[in-house]
C-alpha cells in the first residue's frame, strides 16, 4: 500500500491509473469501513482510502479532540484488505486560515442532523469536494449509516458536476444489531446494551408500517402517531432522542401516505454518545 502525504503524491499516483475507487474516512476503521473498501474493490482494483479527522465538520463542544485516532491499526487493516493507496493529509495542507466553505442547500441540511449540528454538513461537503478534486476518483463509496450525508454528497456531485459515481453501501451491524460506528467505542457495557434498542425500534416501526400498508391503512397521520409512540419508547429506554422520523428516501422530506420508498431515521444520545441508525423500506 502506498502512503501518500501530499496533494502532489496523490496526483502522481492517480495519473498511473485509468480508474480508481475512493473511500474517504476519519480512521478508527471497523468492519463498516472495510465493507466500503470491499465495495470499492468490486468497482475498481485501484482503491484509495483517505484518513483525515476533519476539524471543519465538528462543532463547538463536539468530540474533535477525543475522536479516536488509531493510525497503526488502521494501516494494518487496509494492508490486509489489499488497498492500493492511503492518503493521509493534514489540516495544514488542506485548509487556508480562512477556508473556502461549500454551502449545501438549506432544503437538505436545515433538518435532521443539520439542525442539531450547525456547520457540520458545510464541513463535510467542503472536505469531500476537496478530496474529489485532489483524487479525481471514478467511484466513491459512502455508507448509508450517515444517510443525510449520503444525500448531501449525491446532491453536491450533481450540482457541481463532478464526474464521479457515488456508490451507497449498506449499514454494517454487530451481531445484536447495533450499527457499527467509531463512536460505539465511547459506550460503557451498560450503554452498549441500552443502545440495542435503537435498531430494535427501527425494525419494529418497519414491520408496523409494512403491516399497515398491507391492510391499506396508511394515512399521513399514521406516521406521526408511530413516531410519537416509538420516541416515547426510546425515551423510556434511557435515550435522549434528537429525532426519530419517517421520511421519503430521495428527498428526506416527511413521508406522506402516498410515498413508497421510505427511510426511518434516528439520532439519539445514550449517556454522552450520539448514535445514528436508519432502516429503508419499500411499501
Ligand atoms: O463519514 C465520514 O467518515 C466523514 O464524514 C467523511 C465523509 C470522511 C468526511 O470527513
Q: 251: CA distance to ligand 1 center in Å?
A: 21
All three cell numbers of 3: 502512503
pLDDT higher than 90, residue 89: yes
Cβ contacts of 98 within 8 Å, gap of 6 or more: none
**Residue environment code for 111-124, b if the CB has 16+ CB neighbours within 10 A, otherwise e:** bbbbeebebbbbbb
Number of domains in the chain: 2
pLDDT confidence of residue 216: 87
The domain in which residue 259 lies consists of 182-276
Domain ends where: 169, 199, 227? Answer: 169
Between the CA of residue 236 and those of 62, 81, 204, what are the distances in Å?
25, 41, 16
Taking alpha carbons only, the member of 198, 24, 243 closest to residue 124 is 24
Please indicate if the annotation marks 111 as binding a ligand.
no
Q: What is the DSSP-derived secondary structure letter of residue 22?
A: E
Q: Of 14, 33, 117, 206, which residue is the catalytic one? A: 33
Q: Distance between terminal CA atoms of the chain?
A: 44
Q: 175: CA distance to ligand 1 center in Å?
A: 24
The tens digit of pLDDT for each residue in 92-149 reads 999 999 999 999 999 999 999 999 999 999 999 999 999 999 999 999 999 999 999 9
Q: Who lines ligand 1 at CB under 6 A?
A: 24-26, 54, 57, 124, 127-128, 146, 149
Q: 124: CA distance to ligand 1 center in Å?
A: 6
Q: Where are the beta strands (DSSP E) in 93-190?
A: 139-143, 165-169
In a domain, 281, yes or no: no
Question: Whole-number mean pLDDT of the chain?
Answer: 97
In a domain, 36, yes or no: yes
Tell me the pTM. Answer: 0.97
| Residue closest by Cα to atom 8 of ligand 1 | 25
Taking alpha carbons only, the member of 181, 205, 218, 222 closest to residue 263 is 205
In a domain, 177, yes or no: no
Domain ends where: 124, 140, 169? Answer: 169
Question: Among 29-38, 184-193, 209-218, 243-252, where is mean pLDDT lowest?
Answer: 209-218
In a domain, 175, yes or no: no
pLDDT higher than 90, residue 215: no
Name the strands in the sheet holding 21-25, side by side, starting at the edge strand that comes first in the sequence.
2-4, 85-87, 47-51, 21-25, 139-143, 165-169
**If you average pLDDT over residues 1-12, what whole number do you get?**
98
Q: Do 21 and 150 fall within a single domain?
A: yes
User: Is 33 designated active site?
Assistant: yes
pLDDT confidence of residue 238: 97
In a domain, 78, yes or no: yes
Which CATH number covers residue 212? 3.30.1300.10
In a domain, 174, yes or no: no
Please report, for the chain, how many H helices and E strands are present, in that order.
Answer: 10, 9
**If you average pLDDT over residues 61-83, what whole number do you get?**
97
Amino acid at each position: 500500500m502506498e502512503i501518500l502525504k501530499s496533494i502532489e503524491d496523490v496526483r502522481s499516483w492517480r495519473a498511473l491509473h485509468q480508474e480508481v475507487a475512493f473511500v474517504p474516512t476519519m480512521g478508527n476503521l471497523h468492519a463498516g469501513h472495510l465493507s466500503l473498501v470491499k465495495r470499492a474493490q468490486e468497482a475498481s482494483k485501484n482503491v484509495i482510502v483517505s484518513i483525515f479527522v476533519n476539524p471543519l465538520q465538528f462543532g463547538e463542544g463536539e468530540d474533535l479532540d477525543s475522536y479516536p485516532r488509531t493510525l497503526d491499526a488502521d494501516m494494518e487493516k487496509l494492508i490486509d484488505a489489499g488497498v492500493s493507496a492511503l492518503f493521509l493529509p493534514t489540516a495544514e495542507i488542506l485548509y487556508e486560515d480562512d477556508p473556502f466553505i461549500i454551502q449545501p442547500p438549506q432544503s437538505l441540511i436545515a433538518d435532521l442532523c443539520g439542525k442539531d449540528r450547525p456547520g457540520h454538513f458545510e464541513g463535510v461537503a467542503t472536505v469531500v469536494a476537496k478530496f474529489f478534486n485532489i483524487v479525481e476518483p471514478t467511484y466513491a463509496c459512502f455508507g448509508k449509516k450517515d444517510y443525510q450525508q449520503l444525500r448531501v454528497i449525491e446532491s453536491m456531485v450533481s450540482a457541481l458536476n463532478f464526474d464521479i459515481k457515488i456508490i451507497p453501501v449498506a449499514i454494517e451491524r454487530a451481531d445484536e444489531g447495533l450499527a457499527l460506528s467509531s463512536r460505539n467505542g465511547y459506550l460503557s457495557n451498560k450503554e452498549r446494551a441500552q443502545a440495542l434498542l435503537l435498531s430494535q425500534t427501527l425494525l419494529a416501526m418497519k414491520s408496523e408500517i409494512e403491516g399497515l400498508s398491507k391492510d391499506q391503512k396508511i394515512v399521513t397521520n399514521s406516521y406521526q402517531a408511530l413516531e410519537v409512540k416509538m420516541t416515547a419508547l426510546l425515551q423510556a429506554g434511557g435515550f435522549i432522542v434528537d429525532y426519530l422520523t419517517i421520511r421519503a428516501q430521495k428527498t428526506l422530506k416527511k413521508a406522506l401516505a402516498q410515498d413508497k420508498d421510505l427511510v426511518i431515521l434516528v439520532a439519539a444520545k445514550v449517556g454522552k454518545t450520539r448514535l445514528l441508525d436508519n432502516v429503508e423500506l419499500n411499501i
